[in-house]
Amino acid sequence: MARQPDATGKNVAKSRAKSATTGKPRASRTAAAQDAEPAVVTSEAKTASLAKPKAARSRPAAKPKASATPDDNAKPKVARKPKAAAPSAPEAGSAPKPAGPDAANPARASDSPPPARKLAENIERIETLGHRLMSALADRSLPNPGVEGPGPDLYLTAANAFLKTLSEHPAKMIETQVSFWGQTLSNYARAQQALATGHLVAPPDDGPSDKRFANPLWQNHPYFNLIKRQYLTNARALKEASDSLELPDDVARRRVDWMTAQIIDMMAPTNFLATNPDALEKAVQTEGESLVKGLENLVRDVESHGGEMIVSLADRRAFTVGENIGTAPGTVVYRAPLFEVIQYAPSTPKAHVLPLLIFPPWINKFYILDLKPQNSLIRWLVDQGHTLFVVSWKNPDAAMSDTGMEDYVEAYLDAMDQVLAQTGQSRLNTVGYCIAGTTLSLVLALLKQRGDKRVNSATLFTTLTDFSDQGEFTSFLQDDFVGGIDAEVQRHGLLRAQLMSRTMSFLRANDLVWGPAIRSYMLGETPPAFDLLFWNGDSTNLPGRMAMQYLRGLCQKNAFATDGFEVLGHRLHLSDVTVPLCAVACEADHIAPWKDCWRGMAQMGSKDKTFILSQSGHVAGIVNPPTRQKYGHYLSDHGFAEGHQEWRDAAAFQSSSWWPTWGAWLAERAGPMVDARDPGDGLEPAPGRYVHERAG
């Protein structure tokens, strides 16, 4: 507590004499300290007082004693509490005395609140970041309701189903409500008892393990345990209410279930600062620095995504394509407005006579197949003695808005021509990954109708060609959302990368939206230096015309598997694909479910078909090198005459990577060994120019 300064040095001397008379030590201050000390209680003094141990704060202040020798010239002194926590200057010639408990305990002193200067710096940083955030949000383009959420038809369908259930099964609705409120009251009663007794014995938790609630406070703290239990109660009630609705069809059921799951995930207590113990603990430990860093991360993400709040999944400063990622040696041997062709340098003296050409998806960059040397499929194929070519797609801008599916089909044919000319061969083997595999299937059907036999074999990675079951994309492939995308295309000429990334992320919201947002914005952590997540964030735009042809014609109408999909004057069907085929699907793939990949391949006209089912998901199941020994695969001789489950039941499991299995299949169709081909200088070294273009 600050005190009034003495008017003269005489008062100081009398004060010291008084201390000597009473036999009690009195802390003295220099004249400079007296002059600097304010006459009012400062915020620092208040903070220091609050920082005292509880026992010290509760000790009553000593009553002022009358002076034994009054001084008529002295100003009246103000009664004050002893300054136990504030160090005082020692008298000349005397040893320093402890100023209080904190002085005797350096560890306790280090726990004191941050100084005012640090607080002022943080406030200034927050103010600056706030202005930047508002400026960045102002750059966001006008919102498009068609892609922000489901259309009115879904809400109307859900409301009608609710009223129908209420009128036909009122007892069931009442029973659900009674059960919900009963559980809620039980949660609050348990928490009240724990708070009253100061002791919580966590009740048994029979739910599935959830990494969001790993902090022990969710179990042993009354407040957080109540929040968790009530959230789980609410989630269960929402799920039961959704399940009880009598909806008109399976599409409505999937959409309502998806929307319910999004609401449940969004309202998790871990998504809010006041109910996230990890974030609160980190804020206390760092004296608020974690929250300031979190705001910096938020501003960075909003600025880098044109006003959209899309959380960064990886540290973009950790990788540079061509330097520490995508480094397989090769040469760009051809460049067109839509793509580049890269030929990779051989690593063996001999190579198979037939070249191999890979078409990666143009939704992302090709270096998913060359993240680092240890898991590079590109390097592995070169080591197996293949003359390997890979297409690198251009990242479209608004000038390419009229580029359609037929332009991509012609690009496939052009790339094949260049590879055949480069190697002097008349035939080649091909690979298509994801949407590039769908387009490769269209090209194979077109070549069949034209009588062109340039493709010796084709391999499809996680490729959908029959969209009769839209799976987890059902909510995004209805007219309201596709109509919203159409409006986006009309406005921008593109299906922008940000919208694509956001849509794909919400298929796994806890892992790709809420979890990263918590770590980045609440905990103030730098995104991880993870190559796979770095690639995932390096997405591309899609030309508007091509995007709508794909969504309307292939996905919604399922034309390729039914009436036929028209390209370059030909109506193409799955049955037109007759070259030897190998398809690789992934057991846990939520983008291209393996049963749907299997169903499309079963309808193709080829008599030589091999299906490989890898463990794991859309990317990890493909990028699965033999050295890792992490995911196995399934093979079956059951054929395609029956359904996918019969094939799976008859399959044999192999604990190793599928790469060697496919490698043996490919080698049988790649021809004899010849001298390896050197790509020469070409246009420029790999990874080329187009891979560095980022979506604006």
User: What is the rounded average pLDDT of the residues 456-463?
Assistant: 98
| Phi, psi values for residue 7, rounded to 5° | -75, -35
CA dihedral 617, 623, 625, 628 (to 10 degrees): -50
CA dihedral 235, 239, 240, 244 (to 10 degrees): 150
Q: What is the largest CA-CA distance in the chain?
A: 121
For the stretch 622-675, pLDDT in tens is 999 999 889 999 999 888 999 999 999 999 999 999 999 999 999 999 999 999
pLDDT at 147: 81
**Residue 225 · residue 191 · CB < 8 Å:** yes
Place of tokens 């006209």: 605
User: What is the rounded average pLDDT of the residues 143-156?
Assistant: 82
For the stretch 316-372, pLDDT in tens is 899 999 999 999 999 999 999 999 999 999 999 999 999 999 999 999 999 999 999
**Residue 4 · residue 29 · CB < 8 Å:** no
For residue 152, name the pLDDT band (cuts at 50, 70, 90): confident
For the question of residue 597 being annotated catalytic, the response is no
pLDDT at 523: 96
pLDDT at 579: 98
Burial 22-45 (b: 16+ CB within 10 A, else e): eeeeeebbeeeebeeeeeeeeeeb
**Residue 585 · residue 611 · CB < 8 Å:** yes
Place of tokens 């070549």: 447
For residue 442, name the pLDDT band (cuts at 50, 70, 90): very high
Query: How far lies 516's CA from each of 130, 269, 509, 524, 535, in Å?
Result: 21, 15, 10, 11, 16
Q: Report residue 260 as tokens.
A: 């319910």
**Residue 602 · residue 643 · CB < 8 Å:** no
For residue 205, name the pLDDT band (cuts at 50, 70, 90): low
Beta pairing class for 684-685 and 388-393: unpaired
User: What is the rounded average pLDDT of the residues 431-446?
Assistant: 97
Does residue 10 register a pLDDT over 70? no
pLDDT at 206: 63
For the stretch 411-423, pLDDT in tens is 999 999 999 999 9
For the stretch 470-483, pLDDT in tens is 888 888 888 989 99
Place of tokens 């009630």: 237
pLDDT at 369: 97
For residue 535, name the pLDDT band (cuts at 50, 70, 90): very high
pLDDT at 193: 82
For residue 465, name the pLDDT band (cuts at 50, 70, 90): very high
CB count, 10 Å around CB of 178?
A: 10
CA dihedral 22, 23, 25, 28 (to 10 degrees): 50
pLDDT at 168: 86
pLDDT at 43: 36
For the stretch 552-597, pLDDT in tens is 999 999 999 999 999 999 999 999 999 999 999 999 998 999 999 9
The stretches of 51-206 forming alpha helices (DSSP H) are 54-58, 101-104, 106-110, 116-138, 145-148, 152-168, 170-197
Residues with Cβ within 8 Å of 423's Cβ and at least 6 positions away in sequence, in order, are 355, 387, 677
Residue in 434, 555, 582, 597 annotated catalytic: 434
CA distance 130 to 299: 8
Residues of the chain with pLDDT > 90, as a percent, come to 58
CA distance 285 to 274: 16
Q: Report residue 448 as tokens.
A: 């069949």
User: What does pLDDT average to over the chain?
Assistant: 83
Does residue 53 register a pLDDT over 70? no
Q: 3-state secondary structure string, 209-241?
A: CCHHHCCCHHHHCHHHHHHHHHHHHHHHHHHHH
Q: Which element (helix H / strand E) includes 585?
A: strand 581-586
Query: How far lies 230's CA from each of 270, 278, 420, in Å?
Result: 13, 19, 65
CA distance 633 to 612: 7
CA distance 329 to 331: 7
User: What is the rounded average pLDDT of the residues 102-106?
Assistant: 42
Taking the whole predicted model, whether its pTM rises above 0.75 is answered as yes
